């Protein structure tokens, strides 16, 4: 449980660092902003599933133009994940969650695997976001876990 909590803290931090870099860049790149929004929405969708709620109303790939709105989404996600994690104990990590994906296909996955999906999915896309920032001659954001651990 300690490792997952630490990795979740890293996710909240890394989301903020990426948003800071995005704002500093002043980018208007619609594909880049769409990717950032995708990370925020995916975090939200998985949280809804963990809480036994449907997520069909969310589209994972929509355009976004307002970095401030994106920051608000990430901050709300962080608050909700913190509440969820605070109420979670080690024995619940192996509980199975029934949910449907965005296409309505049913799945059954453990809490542990869902949390790991959220963590790894975000890190994967933060790498893509950094690459896109670099291609626009903007400064990429250092979001490696070790950077966070050294704070």
Distance between CA 141 and CA 109 in Å, rounded?
32
Give whole-number Cα distances, 92 to 10, 11, 48, 84, in Å.
21, 21, 16, 11
Structural tokens at position 16: 């903020």
Task: Confirm or deny that 10 is annotated as ligand binding.
Answer: no
| Torsional class of 104: left (φ above 0), alpha (ψ -120 to 50), beta (otherwise) | left
φ, ψ dihedrals at 100, nearest 5°: -115, 140
Q: Which among 58, 56, 55, 52 is positioned nearest to 97, based on CA atoms? A: 52
Task: Note the Cα 42 to chain centre separation in Å.
Answer: 6
Which residue numbers belong to the known binding site for a divalent metal cation?
38, 121, 125
Which residue numbers belong to the known binding site?
38, 121, 125
């Amino acid at each position: 449980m300690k490792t997952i909590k630490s990795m979740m803290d890293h996710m909240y931090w890394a989301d903020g660092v990426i948003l800071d870099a995005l704002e500093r860049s002043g980018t208007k790149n619609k594909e880049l902003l769409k990717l950032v929004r995708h990370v925020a929405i995916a975090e939200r969708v998985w949280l809804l599933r963990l809480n036994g709620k449907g997520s069909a109303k969310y589209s994972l790939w929509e355009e976004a133009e307002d970095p401030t709105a994106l920051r608000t989404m990430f901050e709300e996600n962080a608050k909700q994940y913190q509440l969820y994690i605070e109420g979670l104990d080690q024995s619940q990590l192996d509980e199975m969650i029934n949910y449907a994906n965005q296409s309505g296909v049913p799945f059954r996955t453990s809490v542990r695997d869902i949390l790991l999906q959220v963590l790894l999915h975000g890190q994967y896309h933060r790498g893509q976001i950094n690459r896109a920032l670099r291609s626009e001659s903007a400064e990429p954001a250092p979001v490696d876990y070790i950077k966070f651990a050294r704070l």
